[in-house]
C-alpha cells in the first residue's frame, strides 16, 4: 500500500505508519466475518471523527474524544481572547490612566489621533496605537502552534466593557474551527455524523484530501490528510493522526475481544447437554 496521499511530496508529516491499525482491522474482519472493505471504511470513519475531536481547539483536559464540540468551540474563543489581551491593551485599564493628569494627556492624544504622543506618554517604544485594532494584528505574533506568547503591543482607548476588543475578537472567532475543518472532505465522504461536524466547523470550506477504494478490490484503502496550517502539534508522537491511530487501534482490539468472548459464550451454550465422547 502507498504511504503518502501525495507520492510526489517530500514534506514530513503527510504520512504515518499505519501498520498496527491495519493489522487490527484485518483481525477484526476475521472474527466479525465482515468484508475487509466494509471494516476499513467503518474504522476510517471513526478515525476521522476522532481526528476532528483531537484537533485544536480542545479543552486540553482528559477525555478529549468524548467532550462536546460546543465546549471545544468555547475553549477556542477563550484562548483567542487570552491571546488578544497579551498584545492588545486598553489604555483605560492601565494603572497610569488613574492619574488625572495622565488621563487628560492620553484622552487629548487619542482625540487628535497623535499616536506618537500616545506612545511617548505610555513609554512603550515598540508598541503602536490607534482607534481600532488593525485587522489580523494578533496573527502576526502567532507561533508555530498558532498561539500568541508575546509581541509588540497595540493600544486602544476602549470602554470598560472593552467593546473594541470584543468586536475584533468576534471577527477572529469566525475562523475558529478552520483546523478541524481540514478533516471535512474525508468526514463528508465517509459520512461522519453531522453532530460531529457542527456549524463552527462546517462553515469552513475544509482544506483537506481523501482518496479511497473499499469496494470490488482485494486491497481496500482510505487515505486522508488535513492540509491546514497549525492543525497539528509538532512532536512526532503528538500528531493528531498518530494519537487517533493509537486510540482507534486500542478500540478495535477491544472490539475483537468482545466478539471473541461473545462467540465463546455462544459456543459454550450450544455444548450444554451435548455428548462429550
DSSP state of 275: -
In the chain, % of residues over pLDDT 70:
87
Q: Taking residues 45-63, report their average pLDDT.
A: 88
Between these two residues, 4 and 107, which has the higher pLDDT value?
A: 107
**Confidence (pLDDT) at 62:** 66
C-beta of residue 93 within 8 angstroms of C-beta of residue 81:
no
pLDDT confidence band for 273 (50 / 70 / 90): low
Residue 100's Cβ-side half-sphere holds a number of Cα atoms within 13 Å equal to 0
- 200-257 pLDDT per residue, tens: 999 998 899 999 999 999 889 999 988 887 666 544 445 788 889 999 999 999 999 9
- 96-110 pLDDT per residue, tens: 999 999 999 999 999
Q: Is the four-CA dihedral 197, 198, 201, 204 of positive or negative sign?
A: positive
Cα dist from 220 to 56, 86, 118, 211, 248, whole Å: 30, 49, 65, 11, 18
Between these two residues, 188 and 64, which has the higher pLDDT value?
A: 188
Look up the pTM and report it.
0.81
Amino acid at each position: 500500500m502507498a504511504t503518502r496521499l501525495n507520492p510526489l511530496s517530500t514534506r514530513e508529516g503527510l504520512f504515518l505508519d499505519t501498520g498496527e491499525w491495519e493489522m487490527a482491522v484485518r483481525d477484526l474482519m476475521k472474527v466479525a466475518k465482515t468484508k475487509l472493505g466494509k471494516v476499513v471504511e467503518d474504522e476510517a470513519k471513526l478515525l476521522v471523527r476522532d481526528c476532528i475531536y483531537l484537533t485544536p481547539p480542545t479543552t486540553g483536559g482528559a477525555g478529549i474524544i468524548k467532550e462536546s464540540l460546543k465546549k471545544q468551540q468555547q475553549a477556542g474563543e477563550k484562548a483567542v481572547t487570552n491571546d488578544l489581551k497579551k498584545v492588545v491593551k486598553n489604555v483605560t485599564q492601565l494603572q497610569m490612566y488613574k492619574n488625572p493628569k495622565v488621563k487628560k494627556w492620553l484622552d487629548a492624544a487619542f482625540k487628535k489621533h497623535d499616536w506618537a504622543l500616545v506612545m511617548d506618554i505610555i513609554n512603550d517604544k515598540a508598541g503602536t496605537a490607534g482607534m481600532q485594532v488593525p485587522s489580523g494584528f494578533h496573527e502576526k505574533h502567532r507561533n508555530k502552534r498558532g498561539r500568541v506568547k508575546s509581541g509588540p503591543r497595540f493600544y486602544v482607548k476602549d470602554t470598560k466593557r472593552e467593546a473594541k476588543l470584543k468586536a475584533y475578537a468576534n471577527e477572529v472567532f469566525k475562523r475558529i474551527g478552520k483546523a478541524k475543518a481540514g478533516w471535512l472532505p474525508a468526514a463528508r465522504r465517509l459520512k461522519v455524523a453531522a453532530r460531529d461536524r457542527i456549524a463552527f466547523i462546517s462553515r469552513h470550506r475544509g482544506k483537506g484530501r481523501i482518496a479511497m477504494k473499499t469496494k470490488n478490490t482485494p486491497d481496500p484503502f482510505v487515505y486522508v490528510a488535513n492540509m491546514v496550517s497549525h492543525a497539528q502539534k509538532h512532536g512526532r508522537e503528538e500528531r493528531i493522526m498518530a494519537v487517533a491511530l493509537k486510540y482507534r487501534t486500542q478500540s478495535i482490539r477491544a472490539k475483537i475481544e468482545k466478539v471473541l468472548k461473545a462467540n465463546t459464550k455462544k459456543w459454550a451454550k450450544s455444548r450444554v447437554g451435548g455428548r462429550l465422547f
